[in-house]
């Protein structure tokens, strides 16, 4: 009992014990609507201090995205992204990119899998900023850079968006802020609960975000604004942590197409 009370006291005081580097760690999430529909598997891998890779797939043997961000390790802010299609053997084929031109306050995107390449631009507003449809991969790095902190976090948000009416777009959504609400037992874990809102979420609004108090990894997010056009809102729920390291990550990517017929490869987009 005394040990348990001490642990609670440390959590209440916001004391974070020393944690290993996030480099090499891979967290498995499921992105859905808040009602659990439209499930997609999301794997966030910290490949290096300054690099985060997100692997997205609906199911094995189908077309899957592999998106890499170069980041500032101290803030999680992205400097640029490269989007690729995962290929057999853990290889990939890049098809689009986004670069943050900070001096020009501009986000510059390009879809170069088409001819001629399609340019996309948006204003770069509040910094640090995060790309919503990267499924919070860089925001996760931002929380991991400040484990146990209850200080507010203000950031800008952008999003790539494509629908039948408008086609591909790069949008600046506006400002968002995460404010600590309380310590909460959530999904059978001790968490720090934040309320996230702001103009970036539009009329739909934001919602809660739960993080692990020890190392800052995201446990659950439930927001009202979707980050893909086939969703009506947004939930990102932690499933578990995968084995760490480059070899385990490569093995995870390799398994996506193992044993698949050639006819099934690349037939469905997540």
**Residue 15 is assigned to a structural domain of this protein:** no
How confident is the model at residue 166, as a pLDDT? 82
CATH number at residue 116: 2.50.20
How confident is the model at residue 163, as a pLDDT? 81
Q: How many domains are there within the chain?
A: 1
**Residue 212 is assigned to a structural domain of this protein:** yes
- 193-250 residue pLDDT tens: 999 999 999 999 999 999 999 999 999 999 999 999 999 999 999 999 999 999 999 9
How confident is the model at residue 20, as a pLDDT? 72
**Residue 33 is assigned to a structural domain of this protein:** yes
**Residue 224 is assigned to a structural domain of this protein:** yes
Domain of 155, in residue numbers: 22-255
How confident is the model at residue 264, as a pLDDT? 56
Q: What are the DSSP calls for 213-266, one per residue?
A: TTT--EEEEEESS-SSTT-SSEEEEEEEEEPPSHHHHHHHHHHTTTT--TTTTT
**Residue 141 is assigned to a structural domain of this protein:** yes
Residues of the chain with pLDDT under 70: 1-19, 262-270
Q: Which residue has the tokens 């591909």?
A: 168
């Amino acid at each position: 009992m005394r040990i348990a009370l001490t642990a609670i006291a440390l959590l209440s005081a916001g004391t974070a014990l020393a944690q290993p580097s996030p480099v090499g760690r891979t967290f498995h999430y499921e992105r859905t609507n808040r009602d659990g529909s439209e499930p997609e598997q999301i794997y966030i891998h910290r490949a290096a201090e300054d690099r985060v890779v997100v692997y997205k797939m609906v199911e094995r043997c189908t077309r899957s995205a592999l998106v890499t961000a170069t980041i500032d390790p101290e803030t999680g802010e992205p400097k640029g992204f490269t989007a690729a299609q995962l290929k057999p053997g853990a290889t990939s084929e890049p098809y689009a990119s986004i670069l943050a031109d900070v001096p020009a306050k501009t986000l510059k995107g390009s879809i170069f899998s088409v001819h001629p390449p399609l340019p996309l631009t948006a204003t770069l507003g509040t910094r640090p900023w995060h790309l919503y449809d990267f499924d919070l991969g860089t925001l996760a790095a931002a929380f991991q850079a400040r484990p146990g902190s209850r200080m507010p976090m203000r950031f800008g948000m952008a999003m790539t968006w494509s629908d039948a009416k408008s086609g591909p777009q790069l949008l600046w959504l506006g400002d968002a802020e995460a404010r600590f609400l309380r310590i909460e037992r959530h999904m059978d874990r001790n968490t720090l609960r934040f309320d996230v809102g702001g103009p970036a979420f539009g009329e739909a609004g934001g919602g809660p975000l739960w993080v692990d108090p020890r190392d800052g990894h995201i446990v659950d997010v439930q927001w009202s604004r979707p980050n893909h056009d086939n969703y009506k809102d947004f939930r990102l729920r932690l499933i578990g942590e995968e084995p760490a390291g480059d070899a385990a990550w490569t093995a995870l990517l390799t398994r996506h197409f193992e044993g698949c017929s050639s006819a099934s490869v690349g037939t469905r987009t997540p």
